[in-house]
Amino acid sequence: MKDYIDLETEIMNVGQIEGDLESLLYKVMDDPNPPSEDELANLIIGMIAMHRVRFDKMFTVFEDCVKNKKLFNKELDNIEMPPYDDGTMKMEVTDSKGV
């Protein structure tokens, strides 16, 4: 069963596209043997396919977390909120100097 930690991992994996693009930029701009037009097209097609796979995997983990109610760490995220202010709480007004 997947939980929020698995989801965080998959979100980070989707972000690998940045590193992939940096590598592609190196190949196109700085590599002494730049790719041919066909090689460049194949690289881009492969990057698109991998990005889709990473996104699909992330979304599957997200759906599993939602289904199993595992989106949060209840130990850490269970914050007790103060009671609602119905307008009766007095707010102190200070000037710009904090006085």
Query: What pLDDT is recorded for position 70?
Result: 78
pLDDT beyond 60 at 81: no
Q: What residues contact 8, with CB distance under 8 A and at least 6 apart?
A: none
Reported as a single tens digit per residue, the pLDDT across 46-55 is 999 999 999 9
Q: Output the six-digit token pair for 53.
A: 């796979």
Query: What pLDDT is recorded for position 88?
Result: 66
Query: Does this model's pTM top 0.75?
Result: no
User: For the chain, what are the domain ranges?
Assistant: 4-74
User: What percentage of residues in the chain have a pLDDT greater than 90?
Assistant: 51
Q: What residues contact 14, with CB distance under 8 A and at least 6 apart?
A: 51, 54, 55, 58
Residue 74 CB: number of other CB atoms within 10 A?
Answer: 8
Angle at 8 between CA 6 and CA 12, to 5 degrees: 115
Say if residues 73 and 7 touch (Cβ distance below 8 Å): no
Question: What mean pLDDT value characterizes the chain?
Answer: 83
Query: What pLDDT is recorded for position 27?
Result: 95
